[in-house]
Amino acid sequence: MNALKRLRSRLIEDFGFDKFRPGQRRACRAAIEGRDTVILMPTGSGKSLCYQLPGLELEGVTVIVSPLISLAEDQAAHIAELGTAAAILNSSKSAKQIAKFREQIRSGKVEFVFTTPERLQRSDICELLAEVGVDMFVIDEAHCASQWGHDFRPDYLCLHHARQRLGNPPILAMTATAAPKTVAEILRTLRLSDPEIVSTGVYRKNLRLEVQGCDDQADKDQRLRRLLVRDDSLESNQPAIVYCATTKTARRLAQQLDDLPIPTLCYHGRMKKADRAAAQQAFMEGPPAVMFATNAFGLGIDKPDIRRVIHYQIPGSLEAYYQEAGRAGRDGEPAICTLLYDPEDVAVQKMFAGGSLDASQLRTAHHTLCQGLERWGESEGNVSLSDLTKISPAGRQTLKRCLQQLASRGVAAPAGRGRWTCLNTELEDSVAEAIASDARLRSEDRQIALERMVRYATAGDCRWATIETYFETDDSESEPCPCDNCGQRTPSVA
Ligand code: ADP
Ligand code: MG
């Protein structure tokens, strides 16, 4: 039987699906042919199958990197259901569990290994995996490797080293739809060679896009309340997310709207880790609730039945908007994505978009890192951002941004859990200048992205068409488009 036929019969027999979804066949084929592959498919469209199916078919181990422990747990559980062994190597496991997994890997029992970028910086893990033979290196949520988008993880910048240490297996990079700039940066930072790019476009016919212009905050608050408690609408009393640009707003709204008929929850980066986890779990597993959140609530939110995503403030780009709004309706049932647009809110995003770095700030940060390592880094060779902040002339956020930029040029490197190490004790002027000029370009780019987001909010064009133009795809069907400007009625929720 040829490889494609085998993939097809596995799809039916092992997974119980009757056919491939768009893009899946091409992605699976590229993977078993050993090509570098990039998969750009909207959330919920079935990216995991594109590594699971070839992973079962290929002889060696499939290594999967994902940014969140919970994502790895979910996927490993799914693989266990298929009757195949998976190992998880990350910081949530005890030394004893890790030792057991390592033994299983060594004995060749394990087909899939889930891990994190930090773990892969450790050579013992890479050696073990290289020894048993890795024939696919999967990078989930690959947009974390790009600084243009959102969710940037500096650890992702080191993955091309990890690939070498794993014996140079082909890479399968997966992400939800990304703008061309983000894709280009993923290709560059992961150093993919002549990759097959499988992109299935952005259009999702079950999502109604709408924008409501607001006069001021009071008007906006009123509209928000109406959206959430309209009793004539079947979307009320169903799971919803309200995205806010700042922690302060998320907190205020959660308090102000705690009299809704369903529970309200709050999630932002300033909460304690345990509180965040509890809020996320309540939203994912508890009764229908409204979540007031900042963009910290994102990765791994794969709840299928979110019926509404409301943006209380305009986000910084259409890419961010599409990612966040796209968490609605993963089950394919109708859902509504509403942007509450108050021109005043653009200023907040303008501020986020600014923030260029100059060469002297970078030199200072580099100096701080070297000093910090002398002082605190003796035993482990790395130092925490918190310690560095104590001796830094710049604030914590600026310092962190500088370190990330130094990491992008291989001068510094993240060492996991908020710790940093230095790879080069000299910071050449040309490197500092290059980083500064990069930062300038990035800031300009963010301004442009913001302008396009504002245009989405204010223009009378089809909203789906605007998004497709932005992502340079065009795949909407000819049916009436579900957006307010095209005038289709709100789809009803069954
Ligand atoms: P993504 O990672 O793209 O967001 P997932 O891989 O989590 O999406 O898949 C979303 C859902 O789609 C899962 O429940 C999965 O079982 C289902 N699915 C994937 N491929 C198929 C298929 N070919 N036919 C039917 N359902 C599928
Ligand atoms: Mg996924």
Residue 493 is predicted with a pLDDT of: 42
Task: Measure the CA–CA gap between 478 and 487, rounded to whole angstroms.
Answer: 15
Residue 13 has pLDDT above 50, yes or no: yes
How far is ligand 1, taken at its centre, from the CA of residue 46, in Å? 3
Residue 1 is predicted with a pLDDT of: 64
Exposed e or buried b per residue across 160-170, where buried means at least 16 C-beta atoms within 10 angstroms of its C-beta: eebbebbbebb
Residue 300 is predicted with a pLDDT of: 73
Handedness of CA 421, 427, 432, 438 (dihedral sign): negative
pLDDT tens profile 338-356: 999 999 999 888 877 776 7
For the chain, helix, strand, coil in percent to 5 are: 45, 15, 40
Residue 467 is predicted with a pLDDT of: 92
Residue written as tokens 């790895």? 72
Q: Which domains does the chain have, with CATH numbers?
A: 3-199 (3.40.50.300), 207-352+463-471 (3.40.50.300), 359-443 (1.10.10.10)
Atom of ligand 1 nearest to the CA of 176: 3
Q: Whose CA is nearest to atom 13 of ligand 1?
A: 46
Residues 6+ apart with CB under 8 A from 485: 460, 461, 462, 463
At 405, is the pLDDT very low, low, confident or very high (cuts 50, 70, 90)? Answer: confident
Structure tokens at 451: 């302008």
Residue 148 has pLDDT above 80, yes or no: no
Enumerate the β-bridge partners of residue 86. 112
Atom of ligand 1 nearest to the CA of 20: 23
At 491, is the pLDDT very low, low, confident or very high (cuts 50, 70, 90)? Answer: very low
Q: Identify the nearest ligand to the CA of 66 by its number.
A: 2
The whole-number average pLDDT for the span 253-260 is: 93
Backbone angles phi, psi at 312, to 5 degrees: -80, -25
Residue 451 has pLDDT above 90, yes or no: yes
Residue 492 has pLDDT above 50, yes or no: no
Among 76-85, 163-172, 447-456, 481-490, the range scoring the smallest mean pLDDT is: 481-490
Enumerate the β-bridge partners of residue 290. 240, 264
Give the residue with greater pLDDT, 359 vs 353: 359
Residue written as tokens 């079947």? 234
Residue 231 is predicted with a pLDDT of: 56
Give the residue with greater pLDDT, 88 vs 236: 88
Any ligand 1 atom below 6 A from CB of 156: no
The whole-number average pLDDT for the span 467-493 is: 72
The whole-number average pLDDT for the span 408-432 is: 89
How far is ligand 1, taken at its centre, from the CA of residue 330, in Å? 10
pLDDT tens profile 45-98: 899 999 999 999 999 999 999 988 778 888 899 899 888 999 999 888 899 999
Any ligand 1 atom below 6 A from CB of 377: no
Q: What is the mean pLDDT of the chain?
A: 89
At 476, is the pLDDT very low, low, confident or very high (cuts 50, 70, 90)? Answer: low
The percent of residues in the chain predicted with pLDDT above 70, rounded, is 95
At 149, is the pLDDT very low, low, confident or very high (cuts 50, 70, 90)? Answer: low
The whole-number average pLDDT for the span 213-222 is: 96
What three-state secondary structure class fits 486? helix
Range ranked top by mean pLDDT from 25-29, 122-126, 327-331: 25-29
For the chain, the first-to-last Cα distance in angstroms comes to 43
Q: Whose CA is nearest to atom 18 of ligand 1?
A: 46
Site to probe by mutation for ligand 1, drawn from 14, 38, 48, 305 as the one with most ligand atoms within 8 Å of Cβ, is 48
The whole-number average pLDDT for the span 230-239 is: 70
Backbone angles phi, psi at 25, to 5 degrees: -65, -45
Find the Cα–Cα–Cα–Cα dihedral 351, 353, 359, 365, rounded to 10°. 70
Site to probe by mutation for ligand 1, drawn from 7, 11, 21, 139 as the one with most ligand atoms within 8 Å of Cβ, is 21
The whole-number average pLDDT for the span 373-401 is: 92
Structure tokens at 222: 């009123």
The percent of residues in the chain predicted with pLDDT above 90, rounded, is 64
Residue 166 is predicted with a pLDDT of: 95
* Alpha carbon distances (Å) from 143 to 51, 171, 415, 470: 17, 14, 20, 17
Residue 232 is predicted with a pLDDT of: 54
Residue 42 has pLDDT above 90, yes or no: no
At 35, is the pLDDT very low, low, confident or very high (cuts 50, 70, 90)? Answer: very high
AA identity, residue 178: A
Q: Which class for 458: exposed (0-12), middle (13-18), buried (19 or more C-beta within 10 A)?
A: exposed
Task: Measure the CA–CA gap between 211 and 51, rounded to whole angstroms.
Answer: 37
At 457, is the pLDDT very low, low, confident or very high (cuts 50, 70, 90)? Answer: very high
Residue 394 has pLDDT above 70, yes or no: yes
Q: Whose CA is nearest to atom 17 of ligand 1?
A: 46
At 176, is the pLDDT very low, low, confident or very high (cuts 50, 70, 90)? Answer: confident
Residue 458 is predicted with a pLDDT of: 96
Residues 6+ apart with CB under 8 A from 454: 314, 346
Residue 439 is predicted with a pLDDT of: 83
* Residues less than 5 Å from ion ligand 2, measured at CB: 47
The whole-number average pLDDT for the span 149-163 is: 84
How far is ligand 2, taken at its centre, from the CA of residue 294, in Å? 21
Q: Whose CA is nearest to atom 19 of ligand 1?
A: 46
Task: Measure the CA–CA gap between 227 and 338, rounded to whole angstroms.
Answer: 9
Q: Whose CA is nearest to atom 5 of ligand 1?
A: 46
